[in-house]
Structure 1
Amino acid sequence: MIYGKVKTMKNIFFLFIIFSLILFQSTSSISQYILKRGNGTEPDSLDPHKATGTWENNIIGDIFIGLVTESPSGNIIPGMAKDWDINNNGKDYIFHLRDNILWSDGVPLTAEDFVFSLKRILNPSTASQYASLLFNIKHAKEIYNGNFSDDRLGVHAIDSRTLKITLENPVPFFIQLLSHYTTYPLPSHVVRAYGEEWIKPSNIVSNGAYILSEWSSNNHILLSKNSKFYDSENTFFDKVYFYPIEDNRLALRMFQAGDIDMNITTSAFPVSELERLIKDFPEQARVYPYLGNSYLPFNMSKPPFNDIRVRKAVSMIINREIINDKVVKAGNDSAYSFIPPETQNFLPGAVLDFTGMTIEQRKGVARTLLLDAGYDKNNPLKFEIVFRNSFDNARRISAIAAMLKREGVYLKMLPFEARIAYNKMSQKDFELGDAGWVADYNDPYNFLFLFKCDAGPMNYSQFCDDEFENLLIKASKAKDLIKRSEIMKQAEQIMLDNHPIIPISFATHRVLISEKIAGYVDNISNIHRSRFFYLK
């Protein structure tokens, strides 16, 4: 999933509305338990087939649940499926659904709802950016490309309580993948009745612990407890508010005032407050490794970054250690590769080809590359960066601009809200971008698939390489996990050698949790479903 935190100028009226609403909620909740969550930014969509961001996942995972789901520690546990069997050397999965499971309107949830949902996301007219995530399912890619009809999809309802999914090849991470919102069931009876309007609060039907009650744009999203959820009796909070608090300095003030109970984002409070908060409030200010990274994608489809010499030169000039250790100071490790070292089934060793050189050596090579590409004092390299405009991120991009300027390279900074920045990169309306990626499941493929030719809008750089593609196909057929890891390492090296991106850092996440709240467990995926929280 993409992640990002943004800061925009909010007028006094908006802040007055937010604080007035919180006060009203506090005084009107005597008989109900209410959880108030900061959530970074405003969702583009809560349709599981249209969403792409971690801030959307936080909400979608509260109102929907798939065949499997996440425990408080981030481990995979049964969801709509009570158990499953794996046959045919790992290619056939038979899922047995729980008894008497219902949609929030009381309509029975059946295996056909999963079939309907998976066919919908693979329909090109749905325009899901995540469709390629499911190409391991038999004939999914051919259906998406319009070569097969969807009745050939390897997903079948054996009966109302039994679902069969057939894969092209054995996939070691497939059960983990099924916790991702792209695989959630949709209420076919509601989607058919309302079309694209099915997601509105007045129409939506869900199967998770909560239902969507209100969506006040740029103000709040309200979820209410779903009495039809199979584990409703163990869901503590009656209502959950999600606030799109884009400025983490404001979020910290609201948290300290008791106006929100938690802020679970990638960076819930300013880096400048990190040392103080960890020292004074170690149980409330949490910092933990994150299965994600931060990188700058080049738009390789047009000048100047259709030239590998220019891409490599810009990457070599950027001093990652200065950025991460001196400017950001959030505990992030500098990145000279793309796949985080904590990733399961991962073999380290693929790195940028200048790794190990001193920064002065790198600058010298970069100058030669730029001269060869036709750039000098009389024709300096100039380009723009579309970036996520948070307080901390602006400092990072400013530092990068200063590094480049010292080498005669001029960077124009274009700040945007995170969702707008990502939309621009998806639409290829940028020269250099600013992105982050968080694993949807713990496997190297979930990082490398972003560079596949068929990754669509999520392949911001438009990198496409036949050798890279063939290695991923070979890896998908490898039965031995060690051999598969070696093939993935080769594929990552090919991608890095082409310099479609500038890896900057491997992620940590910063979280705020009230001392009144129990049920929070640090986990590498930073997924925390509201149904597991309760008051101490």
Structure 2
Amino acid sequence: MKKVITLALSLIPMVSDAALPPDVSWQTNNHEPLFASPDAKFGGTFRTSIDSFPQTFRTVGPDGNGRFRTWLLDGQPQLLQRHPDSLAWIPDIATHWAFGNDNKTIYMKLNPAAKWSDGVPLKATDFSYMLKFYRSKDIFDPWYNIFYTEMFDQINALDAHTIEIVFGKEMDKEDLLYFSHRLKPRPEHFYKPNQDANQDGVDDNFVRLYNFKPEPTLGAYHVGDIKKGKSITMEHAGKEWWGYSNRYYQHRYNPEKIRIRVIRDQDIAFKHFEKGDLDAFALGRPELWYDKTNSAPFQKGYIHKFWGYNQTEIGAGSFWLNTAKPQLGDRNVRKGIALALDIDGLNQNVFRGDFSRKPQGLGVGLGAFTNESLKPLPYDPQAAISSFTQAGFDRVGADGIRVNARGQRLSFAVTYSNQVMTPQLAYLKEQAKAAGLELTLNLVDGSSAFKYVLEKKHEISYHSMGSAPRPQYWEYFHSENANKPQNNNFTNYSTPQLDELIMKYRSVFSTKDKESLSREIQQVVHDANVIVPGVMAPYTREGYWRWIKYPDQPMQKKMEQLMTISGLYDLGLYWIDADVKKETQKAMKKGQAFEPVTIMDNQYKPR
């Protein structure tokens, strides 16, 4: 890994000396390897799909944490980035950074070229407004209110392009970088708080006013044309996008538009892909990769297949057990459910052995933050029966399902969001019967499913969350979020012990101590059996029409997907070759074929 360059203040005269400590030393890093291809071509429209129209275009407040958020906010620029391979800190919105002497303060120098997608220049005050915005009660989002009040003391604009971030507690330098690098500003000019609003700078009617009004972005893409219920088009800021002044952004985000159609059924979406109406498609499901790719467009070489390994972080989840629901508050019941779910059989019989079992429910691949000693409970119907018996389900009904002395059946609904998951859950449902457990399938369409789970209506929810390089536990397991809607405590589980550990985790100074506490928290949650870990795939599998091109070395270590198929999480390395598209369409009309192509990128495959 290359060393970070340190520059003396005298070399960077943009900041007023009066606003900064006299001995401040700026750092930057413009010497990591580039990962985009200089052969990339700008232009064209990339076509993809989603299975439901978003509940809102807000990214905070009720329903603001839905799937479409990855397009609106999560994939947009932030203060700093990690290089996707070396993991070194590199510039993003900020070009330089420096540390104060109090272990609480970090300074960031913003790229003066940065502009919002509506053409308004980014101001340092957009970051101080961000803090005011997230603390406002008018956004109706307690997580943001609490986190940004407790984590940050203040964010100050020192001049037009320099900010001072002061945290509420002392941290080592690595933590100062980590907890500041992901900050994304809010465009103060866009919200124009009305003069009668509270003094928090956010309109009293924020939730209603901005429900379907997407805010400007700093990224290459912003929301353009909207056909409600049918499609959303993300439009590029153009070749003059300010981000291209950053060497790490050059030759990336090449399509001029990304058109996202709403296709509720994934099998129907795949047919659209085969016809050429979509440019790429996720082939993670074994029946897609192995079976449905035997069709003519693949065999004639019009559509190519890609399998690339990565080493990305795996987020929390699989089966979340809502302890606020009857019977699920009993640990013996939860342990019995974990023992009655045949996850390994699911992998072998439904996923064809391509996946691996998650060792525990709070995520993996997080370095020393991950408790490597944890192992999932195996499928064991007899052990499950023993646990259920201890919980009082000591008899079997005429239908084979266990009941307790009050005649209550051992039956729980599993909520999920997509029809493609039905065969997976149907397999588990059949296997669970051997332990006297009934699982009923509760399919809730797309974004409505996440809303259903956020409102804590589920008994068991089958979903996983994304993950940052460092796990966050307060939102998932602190008592502040238990038995309240619109937050990520999907299990409604909390204990005084967990509260204490979580608050220590948030407050300790050193990264090493934080890692130790993380492992301890994971052990406690693991022992509580509130999340049953499912399967994971350390790779991406995608199909794409042959006019889609990408670098000779496609994958990076922390690259989730090669192409934009489920949000702006990818690195934007691909491009559309218009000449190859014409060539392909001409060949199809004439019935001409090309050689079938399957690309395997094993650089980051586990050894």
Pairwise CA distance, 1:296: 1.4
Match of 2:150 in 1: 140
* Conservation of the 8 A alpha-carbon contact between 2:358 and 2:364: no
Q: What's the TM-score, normalizing by structure 1?
A: 0.78
Q: What's the TM-score, normalizing by structure 2?
A: 0.70
Q: Following superposition of structure 1 onto structure 2, how do residues 525-536 of structure 1 map, counting pairs within 5 Å?
A: 525-526=560-561, 528-529=569-570, 532-536=573-577
Match of 2:93 in 1: 80
Match of 2:117 in 1: 104
Question: Which residue of 294, 299, 319 corresponds with 2:322?
Answer: 299
Question: Which residue of 369, 373, 397 corresponds with 1:346?
Answer: 369
Q: Distance in 1 between the 2:328 and 2:139 partners?
A: 31
Secondary structure of 2:392's counterpart equals helix
* Conservation of the 8 A alpha-carbon contact between 1:89 and 1:170: no
Q: Distance in 1 between the 2:549 and 2:103 partners?
A: 38
Secondary structure of 1:292's counterpart equals coil
* Conservation of the 8 A alpha-carbon contact between 1:350 and 1:489: no
- Structure with higher RCO (Cα < 8 A, 6+ apart): 1
Q: Following superposition of structure 1 onto structure 2, how do residues 450-529 of structure 1 map, counting pairs within 5 Å?
A: 450-455=476-481, 457-508=487-538, 509-519=540-550, 521-522=554-555, 523-526=558-561, 528-529=569-570
Look up the equivalent residue of 1:229 and give its one-letter code.
W
How many equivalent pairs are there? 482
Question: Which residue of 197, 206, 211 corresponds with 2:217?
Answer: 206
- Does the C-alpha gap of structure 1 residues 232 and 52 become closer, same or farther in structure 2, counting only changes over 3 Å? same
Which structure 2 residue ranges, 5 or more long, are not aligned? 1-41, 195-202, 396-401, 562-567, 578-607
Q: Deviations over 1:255-283 (max 9, x none)?
A: 332222223xxx55542122355997896
Answering whether residue 403 of structure 2 is matched by residue 376 of structure 1, we say yes
Q: Distance in 2 between the 1:113 and 1:80 partners?
A: 12
Match of 2:79 in 1: 67
Q: Distance in 2 between the 1:319 and 1:531 partners?
A: 37
Q: Distance in 2 between the 1:386 and 1:129 partners?
A: 27
* Conservation of the 8 A alpha-carbon contact between 1:292 and 1:506: no
- Does the C-alpha gap of structure 1 residues 204 and 431 become closer, same or farther in structure 2, counting only changes over 3 Å? closer
- Does the C-alpha gap of structure 1 residues 99 and 38 become closer, same or farther in structure 2, counting only changes over 3 Å? same
* Conservation of the 8 A alpha-carbon contact between 1:210 and 1:225: yes
Q: Distance in 2 between the 1:473 and 1:506 partners?
A: 29
* Conservation of the 8 A alpha-carbon contact between 2:417 and 2:447: no
Answering whether residue 289 of structure 2 is matched by residue 274 of structure 1, we say yes
**Higher helix proportion:** 1
Look up the equivalent residue of 1:66 and give its one-letter code.
Q
Pairwise CA distance, 1:164: 1.5
Q: Following superposition of structure 1 onto structure 2, how do residues 133-532 of structure 1 map, counting pairs within 5 Å?
A: 135=147, 139-140=149-150, 153-167=153-167, 168-170=169-171, 172=174, 175=177, 183-192=183-192, 196=206, 197-198=209-210, 200=212, 204-227=215-238, 229-231=241-243, 236-263=254-281, 268=283, 270-276=285-291, 277=293, 284-286=305-307, 288=309, 291-329=314-352, 331-351=354-374, 355=377, 359-371=380-392, 376=403, 379=407, 381-439=409-467, 441-443=468-470, 445-446=471-472, 449-455=475-481, 457-508=487-538, 509-519=540-550, 521-522=554-555, 523-526=558-561, 528-529=569-570, 532=573
Look up the equivalent residue of 2:287 and give its one-letter code.
S
Match of 2:8 in 1: none
Q: Distance in 1 between the 2:441 and 2:104 partners?
A: 48
Q: Deviations over 1:442-471 (max 9, x none)?
A: 12x236752222346210111112212222
Q: Distance in 2 between the 1:206 and 1:482 partners?
A: 35
Match of 2:603 in 1: none
- Does the C-alpha gap of structure 1 residues 88 and 386 become closer, same or farther in structure 2, counting only changes over 3 Å? farther
Task: Give aligned-pair identity as a percent.
Answer: 16
Secondary structure of 1:249's counterpart equals helix
Larger Rg: 2
Answering whether residue 51 of structure 2 is matched by residue 33 of structure 1, we say no
Q: Distance in 2 between the 1:236 and 1:488 partners?
A: 39
Which structure 1 residue ranges, 5 or more long, are not aligned? 1-30, 142-151
Q: Distance in 2 between the 1:65 and 1:45 partners?
A: 21
